[in-house]
Every structure is written in structure tokens, then in C-alpha cells.
Amino acid sequence: MKKIITGALTTMLAFSLIVQPSGNAFAKNYNDTLTIAHRGASGYAPENTMAAFEKAVDMKSDVFELDVQLSQDGELVVIHDTSVDRTTNGSGKVKDHTLAELRDLDAGSWFGEAFTGERIPTLGEVLDEYRGKSGILIEIKSPSLYPEIEQKVADELKERNMHKPNNNKIIVQSFDHDSVQTFHNILPSVPVGVLVYNPADLTDQSLEDFSRYAEYVNPSKGLVDKDLVKSIHDYDMDIHPWTARDHESVEALEEAGVDGIITDYPDYVE
Ligand code: G3P
Ligand code: CA
């Protein structure tokens, strides 16, 4: 399953089918590095908006990443911070606003006048617009604030038949590893990743634990070297570090042999 999923994303990039001697039609070509646009192409458009996702696709990213949380009335909304203050013209916590209130906010003008009127998207809206056009890396953000968010994400995917193995261009990840396991138990056909910022979470024992349910270990880029990449591969998982914002970081990650790079600047990844 892991290699089928990774290969499907790689295949989207190459627009070609790589047939391996094993008979696995989607086996990964390890010379490719997936380009993963962080919160969309957030170096060029306001993060987590349709403009940023459109830019990511325009720039030939293989995948775009987004963050999901819940509105006060239980709708899945795409926004990074747990408050709306930084990226909209509103104020207060995401969870204290209804969907209608969140949709009224301007999520673009903070980034630039050209983006005035961009809205906070719902997860459903993004899935409807980009299914089949891009891989989507869904981060469940701060799940301890949002009971049942894993079930709601699973329901959105199932409603659209996006949980079937052949439709897999979706990955779900979180810093909250209990949440990742909860999602995995609800919808095991969708590959999951663990986000890691603490080196203590990259011991052999941790990697072995992750490998019981996860296909991806996605660490902060500062934790990555060739040995870590090898260890993660030895446990049959892939590694997609974050967040590369300069050419030197991208080159160092490519040199280390990572499988994908999460970046604000998709054009920096060869
Ligand atoms: O996908 C990795 C990255 O998004 C994790 O950090 O804070 O940007 O959500 P953050
Ligand atoms: Ca994120």
C-alpha cells in the first residue's frame, strides 16, 4: 500500500506509468523528489486559500499541504493558526466563529492587495476543486481542541469516494500522534504521516512504533540527514521534511535523499 500511494503521486508528476519488475505498477522511482506546496504556494499567495492552492497547481507541485480545524458549528475549515488574527481581518479563535462568520472574513488582503476577498475555504470545497488535479496533504491542526475531527475528515473523504486505494492522492498527518492513529483506525486505506519536531521522536524505537500505522515521517528540516533518511526507509516509510524556504535548504534535503520537500516555494524544488 505504501509504495502504491507514493508511486501514484510520483506518477502524477511524470504523467507516465512506471512498471517495475515486481509487477507493482506504481512502485516509487527513488530519483524523484515530490514537491509539496506548504499551505499551498504560500510564498506567492496567502496561505491556505484557493489562490495559494491554484498557484501550487500552476507551479506543477505534486501535492499541496493544508491545515484543517473546526468552526464553532462543526464545519471543517482550512486555516493554520487557532486564531484568525494573523491571516484575516477578523479576531478571535477559529473555534468561536461559525462557518458563516469565518466565510465573511477577508483571508487575502493581509498578504497583498491583489488577494483581497480571498476566503477561508472549507475542506470540502478544496477536495471538490482539486480532486484528481493534485495530491493533498491534510494536516489535522490542534486536534485536542476539536473532538471527533478525525471522524469528520474521514467522512469528507468517504463522501467523495476518496478513501479507496486507487484514488489515493491524499495523505493525512498531524503533530498529535494519537490523532494520527485515531484517523488511521477509522480509515486505514488512507495513508498517514507523523509530524515531528522533537529529535526524541526519531529514535529507532519511535520509528518502529510509527511504522505500525504510518507511511510517512515528516520532521522539521533541521533534524534531517542521510542517516535519518536511511533509518526511515529501513522501516519502509517515506520522509517529507518541512519547511524549506531557501535554495540551500532544498539542496541539502535533496542531497540527504528525502522523498518529498514541503516548501513555501515550489519552484525551488528541481
Ligand atoms: O506540513 C508540515 C508543516 O505544515 C508543519 O508545520 O506549523 O506549518 O503546520 P506548520
Ligand atoms: Ca501545516
Residues touching ligand 1 (Cβ under 6 Å) are 38, 65, 67, 80, 139, 195, 218, 242-243, 262
Residue from 174, 242, 261 to probe ligand 1 pocket by mutation (most atoms less than 8 Å from CB):
242
Q: Distance between CA atoms of 153 and 191, rounded to whole angstroms?
A: 13
Report the alpha-carbon distance of residue 35 to residue 265 in Å, rounded: 9
Cβ atoms of residues 214 and 236 within 8 Å = no
Q: What's the confidence (pLDDT) of residue 10?
A: 44
Residue nearest to atom 4 of ligand 1 (CA): 38
Gap between the Cα atoms of 129 and 46, Å rounded: 18
Query: Count of CB atoms within 10 A of residue 186's CB?
Result: 17
Q: Where are the domains of the chain?
A: 30-268
Give the active site residues: 38, 80
Side chain identity at 38, as an amino acid letter?
H
Give the residue ranges of the chain where pLDDT is below 70: 1-31, 165-168
Measured in angstroms, how far is the CA atom of residue 139 from the centroid of ligand 2? 5
CB 11 within 8 A of CB 26: yes
- Please give the distance, rounded to the nearest whole angstrom, from the Cα atom of residue 196 to the centre of ligand 1: 10
Q: What is the predicted pLDDT for the residue at 17?
A: 32
- Centre of ligand 2 to C-alpha 20, Å, is 33
Measured in Å, residue 1 CA sits from the centre of ligand 2 at 24
CB 169 within 8 A of CB 135: yes
Is 76 exposed, middle or buried, given 0-12, 13-18 or 19+ CB atoms closer than 10 A? buried
Peptide bond into 6 cis (omega under 30): no
Q: Starting from the CA of residue 264, give the closest ligand.
A: 1
Residue 16 DSSP symbol: S
d(CA 18, CA 101): 47
The superfamily CATH assigns to domain 30-268 is Phosphatidylinositol (PI) phosphodiesterase (3.20.20.190)
Mutate to test the pocket of ligand 1, among 35, 38, 141, 180 (most ligand atoms within 8 A of CB): 38
Beta strand 216-219 with 170-174 is: unpaired
Which residue among 61, 67, 171, 218 has the greatest number of ligand 1 atoms within 8 angstroms of its CB, and so is best to mutate? 67
> What confidence score (pLDDT) does residue 241 get?
98
Other beta carbons within 10 angstroms of residue 257's beta carbon come to: 18
Q: How far apart (Å, rounded) are the C-alpha atoms in residues 156 and 150? A: 10
3-class secondary structure, 143: helix
- pLDDT at residue 270, rounded to an integer: 79
The overall average pLDDT reported for the chain is 90
**Element holding 2 (H helix, E strand):** helix 2-14
For residue 222, give the nearest of 248, 246, 197 by alpha carbon.
Answer: 197
pLDDT at 101: 98
The atom of ligand 1 lying closest to the CA of 137 is 1
User: What is the reported pLDDT for 32?
Assistant: 84
- Location of C-alpha cell 519552484: 267
Distance (Å, whole) CA 94 – CA 86: 12
What is the number of the ligand 1 atom nearest to the C-alpha of 242? 2
d(CA 69, CA 4): 29
Q: Hunting for cell 491556505 — which residue is that?
A: 48
Rounded to the nearest whole angstrom, what is the distance from the C-alpha of residue 99 to the centroid of ligand 1?
A: 23
Instruction: Specify the residue with its C-alpha closest to ligand 1, atom 2.
Output: 242
What's the farthest any 2 CA atoms get from each other in the chain? Answer: 56
**If you write DSSP's letter for every residue of 93-124 in order, what string do you get?**
BGGGS-HHHHHHS-SSTTT-GGGTT--PPBHH
Tell me the pLDDT tens digit for each residue of 97-148: 999 999 999 999 999 999 999 999 999 999 999 999 999 999 999 999 999 9
